[in-house]
Amino acid sequence: MFNDKVIFISGGTGSFGKKYTKTLLERYKPKKIIIFSRDELKQYEMQLEFNDDCMRYFLGDVRDLDRLKQAMQGVDYVIHGAAMKQVPAAEYNPMECIKTNITGAENIISAAIFNNVDKVMALSTDKAANPVNLYGATKLASDKLFVAANNMAGSCRTRFSVVRYGNVVGSRGSVVPYFKRLIEQGATSLPITHVDMTRFWITLVNGVDFVLKNFERMAGGEIFVPKIPSARIVDLAKSLAPDLEHEIIGIRPGEKIHEIMCPSDDSFHTIEFDDHYVITPTINLFEYEHDYTQDKIGGKGQYVEPGFEYSSGANTFLSIDKLKEYDEFSEE
């Protein structure tokens, strides 16, 4: 579906943006791929790796609506990945996080409707479910904006959906590169915030495939949640350095012991499919009606039991050997 299409990726110089770009170039023949980000050095470095004729690099900030309107001219599909993502940084710089994650989302929506974009997929996080930190709260607000944007679009063709996923193995925000750096520097122990801590675990490849598939599935208004395993952080540390001791340092500002992707309060709006869940809109979308138990590619699901919750602490866990495989896979 991406052949001869114009694809816009905000925050496109990050780990996910690069993998999206690589995947799109390998599998499809897009008319253009527009990388929109505010870091000129990262754009320069990415241009050295991805210099196909269809590639375009636009400097800009999602806080700047006029620039977004200009950059989205002629765009068919938008992947919105730009965000402030570091939990402690958001706690200490709350207004900056709000400007990027909430105002930036509003601007993406306005620019997409203005340019009659076909589909917009916003990337979210498990921290948006029952948030206890500012980052999660801003992403929950962002999710709500993108769902409601289907009403804001009115009779315009633009449709908006959200993908919510967990920790991405080996991404810049992951603990894995941090642990590896400590190991390379000769650390005698690895810092563990809490012995019971768990996280949802997904590879870049799986994350990208899930997002791209959801462009085909989406009707508008869905929050897509993949069925993925969990990792115990102590097991992760053992998989990387089995002989190193663990130093318990306490949880960071705004951190949870376990993450949630489908809260129990949303169970009345949650549909289970073979390999994912869909959280349906809690509001009426006035321009059209859709049976969310059937997606656009023939998938059929059913509503979960009332009170159902999808938590990283009550999930299938990766073994230490499997975590090693995930780490090797992330480096390919």
> Which three-class secondary structure state does DSSP give residue 177?
helix
- Tell me if residue 32 is catalytic: no
Catalytically annotated residue among 18, 127, 144, 256: 127
Q: Where are the beta strands (DSSP E) in the chain?
A: 6-10, 32-37, 55-59, 77-80, 119-123, 159-163, 167-168, 189-192, 198-202, 223-226, 230-232, 245-248, 260-262, 270-272, 276-279, 302-303, 310-311
Cβ atoms 23, 15 nearer than 8 A: no
What is the distance between the terminal CA atoms of the chain, rounded to a whole angstrom?
A: 26
Which pair of structure tokens corresponds to residue 295?
Answer: 């997606």
Question: Roughly what angle, to the nearest 10 degrees, separates helices 204-217 and 15-27?
Answer: 60
Measured distance CA(271)–CA(210) in Å, rounded: 17
Residue 323's alpha-carbon distances to 159, 179, 241, 312, 328, in angstroms, are 37, 14, 12, 15, 9
Whether 139 and 198 have beta carbons less than 8 Å apart is answered as no
Measure Cα distances from 149 to 107, 121, 142, 215, 277 in Å: 11, 12, 10, 16, 21
8 A C-beta contact, residue 33 and residue 74: no
Catalytic residues: 127
